[in-house]
Amino acid sequence: MNQVANPLHVLGCDVGKDKVVIFDSVTGVIAEVCNTQKALAKAIADCGMKSDSLIVCEATGGFEAPLLAAAATANIPAHRADPRKAAAFIRSLRSHGKTDAIDAEALARYGLERGDRLPRWQLPTKAQSDLAQLVRLRADLVQTHGDYTRRAKAPGRGRSEKHLKATIRVLTTRIAAVEADISEVVLADKQLSQTVDTIQEIQGCGPKTALLLTALLPEIGQLNRKQVAALAGVAPHPRQSGKADGYRRITGGRPAIKRGLFMAAMAARQHNPKLRAFFEHLRAAGKPKLVAMMALARKLVTIANAKVRDAIFAPKSELC
C-alpha cells in the first residue's frame, strides 16, 4: 500500500447517511456537505487539497463510498479508518461530549498525528467490487440455505415443512445463479482470473478459498507477510508487560477470511505434504492443535501472498 509521509493538510470527515461533516485542519473551518459524490468533490476542491494531503473517514458500512470516490477522482489520498481504532483515539482526546463536528475534528487530528503510518485506500475496479459483492452474497445465501435445511429436518415442523422446502429450492437456484455470475466476472478480468488460478496452485486452496482471498483480500500480493496475516485475521499479537509474557491471541482482521483459511488449513493438512509436515512439527513441539492449525492457516495466506506477488505484481526484470 502506498503511504504519504507526514501530511500537513488533513480533512477529517464524519460520514452519515445523508451528510458529511468536514473539518479542515489548515483553516479550522467546519462544513456540512450532502453525502453525494458531486457535492463532496466540490468541497474537496474548495479546500485546496493537493496530492500530499490526506482525507480521513471511518468505515460506515458503505456510506463513505461517495467520499472515497470523490477523493480518488481528485487524486487525493484517503484513509478509511477502523472504527474501533478511531473511536479509541477520539476517546483519548476528550472527557465529555460527542458531536459530528467534534468527531470530524478528531479524525483530522488522527490523520495529522498518524498519517505517515496509515494505509491509503485504493479505489477498486468495477470487477473487484462486483466480485466482492457476489462472494459476500453467496456466503449469505449458503448460510441461509443451511439454516432452512436444518429447520426442515427438525422434528415437529408440521405444515411449515412445505414452505421450508420451497424456500430451500429457491435458495439453491439463487446460489447457482450467483456462482455463475462469479465465474463470469472472474473470467472477464485478466488479473482476477490470474489471481484465482495462482492461489489454486497451492495444495489445500480450492476454488472457494481462491475466490474468497481474491474477493475479500484485494491487497494480496502487494503486502508483506506480516501485513497480509494481520488483514486475514490470523496474526498472533503479543501480550507482554514487564516480566510477564502472556498468551499471544489472534484478534482483528477480516472474519470471513479467517474462517475460510481455517477450513483451507484443514484440507492442506490432509493433502499438502509440506504443510502437513509443518503442522506435525508444531504438534511435536508441544503446540496445541488449534494453535498449530492457525499457524498453518497463516502459512497458507503468506504463501498465497508471495505467489500472487511473483506472478502478477513483481517487475518482469526481477523474474528473469
User: pLDDT for 222-279, tens place per residue?
Assistant: 889 998 998 898 988 777 767 666 667 777 788 899 999 999 999 999 999 999 999 9
How confident is the model at residue 319, as a pLDDT? 46
Distant-in-sequence, close-in-space partners of 185: CB < 8 Å, separation ≥ 6? 127, 130, 131, 134, 192
How confident is the model at residue 254, as a pLDDT? 87
What are the residue ranges in the chain where pLDDT is below 70? 1-5, 94-96, 241, 243-247, 315-320
φ/ψ of residue 43, rounded to 5: -65, -40
How confident is the model at residue 246, as a pLDDT? 61
φ/ψ of residue 7, rounded to 5: -65, 140
How confident is the model at residue 320, as a pLDDT? 41
How confident is the model at residue 61, as a pLDDT? 83
Distant-in-sequence, close-in-space partners of 235: CB < 8 Å, separation ≥ 6? 226, 229, 250, 252, 253, 298
State the Cα angle at 251 between 249 and 256, rounded to 5°. 130
How confident is the model at residue 220, as a pLDDT? 93
